[in-house]
Amino acid sequence: MRIGTVTELWRYPVKSLRGERLAEARLQVHKGVLGDRGWAVRDEAKGEIRGGRNLHALVQAESRYVAEPDGSTTPDAEITLPDGTRFLTSDPQAANHMSRLVGRTVTLWPQQAPEAEEFYRRAPPDNPDLEAEYRALFGRVPGEPLPDMRQFPEELMTYVSPRGTFFDVWPLHFLTRATLAALQAEAPGSRIDVRRFRPNFVIDVAESGFVEQGWVGRRIRVGEVLVEVPAPCPRCVITTLQQADLPKEPQIMRAIVRAANQNIGAYGSVIEPGRIRLGDPVELAA
């Protein structure tokens, strides 16, 4: 049954940096959109791969590939900082540029093999008060619930991402325009913009409300690709941060917690690979 149409496609060459819009995307099992989160920043003081939840300034930079990924190696990405500085991920000064941006000593890394367990291992928390740490990472104020971590794969208690990738959890994130409209209605004074939520694809649907949360546990076919929907996407502090022309708006999280059960969009995992193009139909498969 057709439920919608793909209206936007996104890829993020560097984890937590702003991404690039695509006309079509090739998707692989375990990897999602080819080249997505191909690079990430490693905090050398912590000895851990980190993203915008910890290093908020990352969302102020943007990235794009200078060559199309082929699935065998990770090509260079060009990074543009807020002051207009541009450089490649392979530039000898890349780490220095990124360190100045975030105010900590960091390095840039391409995805490593799944066998690199120590590379992906999670470091001890910054704050010994775990509830305070999680509230900071997820942008929750006292009295608001925290996401239920039991819905996520157990390996993420040990590793910062599924080994071999730089994804937070599953390889895909998708979002409907209905959800963006519903959230805007709940937060009329805020700028609800797709860039805050970093989806891989945006779907136009006829329904209203936070509709993709109703697809959890089912499969959807998007163009040539069959996608399993394992869980909704609980939002973190990144949603509220200043980036590009979007202001910092912590009140967005209040609306997400109040009206959307903490979730905006849903996660996906590729069952059958293929291509997705703008205008492709989206169908409920099961």
**Dihedral (C-alpha) 10, 244, 232, 186: value to the nearest 10 degrees?**
-130
pLDDT at res. 32: 96
pLDDT at res. 286: 65
CA distance 166 to 197: 17
For residue 149, the Cα-to-chain-centroid distance in whole angstroms is 17
Question: Is the distance from CB of 215 to CB of 222 less than 8 angstroms?
Answer: no
Q: Residue 108 belongs to what H/E stretch?
A: strand 106-110
Tell me if residue 286 falls in helix, strand or coil. Answer: coil
Question: Is the distance from CB of 53 to CB of 237 less than 8 angstroms?
Answer: yes
CA distance 94 to 105: 11
- The pTM for the full model equals 0.96
Tell me if residue 80 falls in helix, strand or coil. Answer: strand
**Cα dihedral sign for 165, 124, 81, 267?**
positive
R_g (Cα) of the chain, nearest Å: 18
The domains found in the chain, sorted by start residue, are: 2-284 (2.40.33.20)
Residues paired with 276 in a beta bridge: 25
Q: Which residues of the chain have pLDDT under 70?
A: 286
CA distance 174 to 215: 11
Q: What b/e string do you get for 39-68 counting C-beta neighbours within 10 Å, with b at 16 or more? A: bbbbbeebebbbbbbbbbbbbbbbbbbeee
CA distance 85 to 102: 14
pLDDT at res. 78: 98
